[in-house]
Amino acid sequence: MSAEAYRLLVETLASRGIDVEKVKAALKKQRIETPSWGYGDSGTRFKVFGQAGSARNTYQKLDDAAQVQRYTGIAPSVALHIPWDRVPDYGELLAYAQSLGLELGAINPNLFQDDTYKLGSLCNPDGEVRRQAVEHILECVEIAEMVGSQVISLWLADGTNYPGQDDMRARRRRLLDGLQETYAAMPAPMRYLIEYKFFEPAFYHTDLGDWGMALTMCQKLGDRAQVLVDLGHHPLGTNIEQIVALLIDEGRLGGFHFNNKKYADDDLTVGSVNPYELFLIFNELVAGELDPSVDMNVAYMIDQSHNIKPKIEATIQSVLVCQETYAKALIVDRATLSAARLNGDVVLAEETLSDAFRTDVRPLLQVLREEMGLAPDPLTAFRKSGYWERVSAERGRVSDSQSGYPGA
C-alpha cells in the first residue's frame, strides 16, 4: 500500500470526525489469545490429518505461538487445554513461555474425552463421575495459579441423546453444585468463563445449550462468573450481536472463542464465511468500550482446529481478521449513527455502518505495524522466514492413522 492510500484514508476518516491517532492507540492495545490446540494435528470427527511441522508437545506449541506474536504483535498469550498440555513442571513451562515473550492464558478443563463421561461429567447421575470432573477442574484452578492465569474457560459437553434418558432438572442441580464448589476454590480475580453450545455431542438436549442457560448459572455463582461466546455454537440465523449486546449490558460478557461456520460448529477461520456478521459483533464490542458505564473485561480468544491449512498461517490469518474487523468497528461515525437512530433515519443508520465495513483499512494497519516495528504484511513475512520449512524438517510427521479430537 502506498503512502498516498494512507493519506486519503486519513482524510476520509477525518471527514467523518474520526481521529486516526485514537484509532491506532486502541488497535495497539488489542489482544487476541491463540489456542495451544490450534498448533497441533487435528481433524474431523473421523480422522486426524497429520501435517509435517505441526507441534508435537506443549513447548513446540509455544514456539509456534511465538511466531504468531512476532508477526502480528497482538497475540501475546496462549490458552492451554488440560490434559493435552499437562507437563511435569508448570513453573518451567511458564518460564519458557516468558522467554519467548509470551504469557499463559485461559486454562481449559477437558470434561469430554474420558470414557467415564459417556453420560456426562458434572451432570452425570453417578456421583463418583461427578467427583472426578470436579477434581479435574480443581486441578485446572491450581494450574492457573501456577502459571499466572486469571481465567478458567469451561465448555461442557454434557447432555442427553434420547428422551427420558435422564431428569433435566436433576442434571441442572448437579451442574450447579459442581460449579459452585469449583467457583469457590478460585481465588480473586480469577474468573469462570462458561461456554454454551446448542447441540453436539448431545443430540436431544444439552445441559448448557444457549447463552441464557450459561447466564443463569453465572448469576447463581457470582460476579466472577461470565459467559463465553463461541461464534460457532449457535443455530443458523442466530443474532449473535444481540446476544453480545445483552451480555455487555448485564456485565456478563466474559470472553469469545472466535471462529466461523457454514453449517454447525465448523471451526473455520474467523471471518471466512460471514465477515459482516463479525463486523456487527465488533461494532457492539466497541460500543461497549466507549460506554463509560460499562466495565469491559473481555478475553478475546481464537478457537479453531486448522485441519487442512498450515497451522501457523491459519492462526495469523485469524488474528489479522480480528484486527481488521476491530479497526472497521473503531471507524464507525458514531455521532452520525446516534443522530440517525434518534431521528428514525433507518437508511442513514444502516449506511453509516456499511460505510465503515466497506472502508479499506489495510493502509492504516500497515502504518500501524510499521510504528510497532512489525512487517507491514505479516503473513508474507512469515512465509518468507522459512520457519515452517525448518520445523517441518525437524519435527517430521506423525502417523496418518491417527483419529480423534484435536489433542487426542
Q: Is 263 inside a domain boundary?
A: yes
What is the distance between the alpha carbons of residues 78 and 315, in angstroms, rounded to a whole number? 12
**C-beta of residue 153 within 8 angstroms of C-beta of residue 255:** yes
Q: What is the mean pLDDT of residues 333-358?
A: 98
CA separation for the pair 386, 380 (Å, rounded):
11
pLDDT greater than 60 at residue 404 = no
Q: Which residue has the higher pLDDT, 122 or 46?
A: 122
pLDDT > 90: percent of the chain: 91
In a domain, 97, yes or no: yes
Between CA 175 and CA 152 the distance in angstroms is 16
**Does a structural domain hold residue 360?**
no
| Residue 305's pLDDT band (cuts 50, 70, 90) | confident
* Average pLDDT for the chain: 95
Give the structural domain span for 305: 29-331
Q: Is residue 310 part of a domain?
A: yes
Higher per-residue confidence, 51 vs 95: 95
pLDDT the model gives residue 406 = 52
For 124-181, how does the pLDDT look when each residue is reduced to its tens digit (9 = 90+)?
Answer: 999 999 999 999 999 999 999 999 999 999 999 999 999 999 999 999 999 999 999 9
- Residue 272: DSSP 8-state: S
Can you give the pTM of this predicted structure? 0.95
Phi, psi of 351 (to 5 degrees): -65, -35
Q: Please state the domain count of the chain.
A: 1
Task: Please give the angle made by the CA atoms of 147, 151 and 119, to the nearest 5 degrees.
Answer: 110
Average pLDDT of span 231-258: 97
pLDDT-above-70 percentage for the chain = 96
Q: Is residue 58 part of a domain?
A: yes
- CB–CB of 304/261 below 8 Å? no
More confident residue, 408 or 209: 209
Residue 388 domain flag:
no
User: Which phi and psi (to 5°) does residue 193 adopt?
Assistant: -105, 115
Residues 184-197, mean pLDDT to the nearest whole number: 98
pLDDT tens per residue across span 56-100: 999 999 999 999 999 999 999 999 999 999 999 999 999 999 999
Q: Which of 2-16, 171-185, 213-227 has the lowest mean pLDDT?
A: 2-16
Residue among 299, 318, 135, 280 at smallest CA distance from 224: 299
Burial bucket for residue 280 (CB in 10 Å: 0-12, 13-18, 19+) = buried
What confidence tier does 1 reach under pLDDT thresholds 50, 70, 90? Answer: low
Segment 34-53 shows an average pLDDT of 86
Residue 353, in any domain of the structure: no
Q: What stretch of H or E contains 298? A: none
SS3 content of the chain, % helix, strand, coil (to 5): 50, 10, 40
Q: Residue 45: is its pLDDT beyond 80? A: no
**398 domain-assigned:** no
**DSSP reduced 3-state for 153:** strand
Compute, in degrees rounded to 10, the torsion defined by CA atoms 55, 95, 317, 233: 80
CATH number where 76 lies: 3.20.20.150
Question: What does the longest C-alpha to C-alpha distance in the chain come to?
Answer: 67
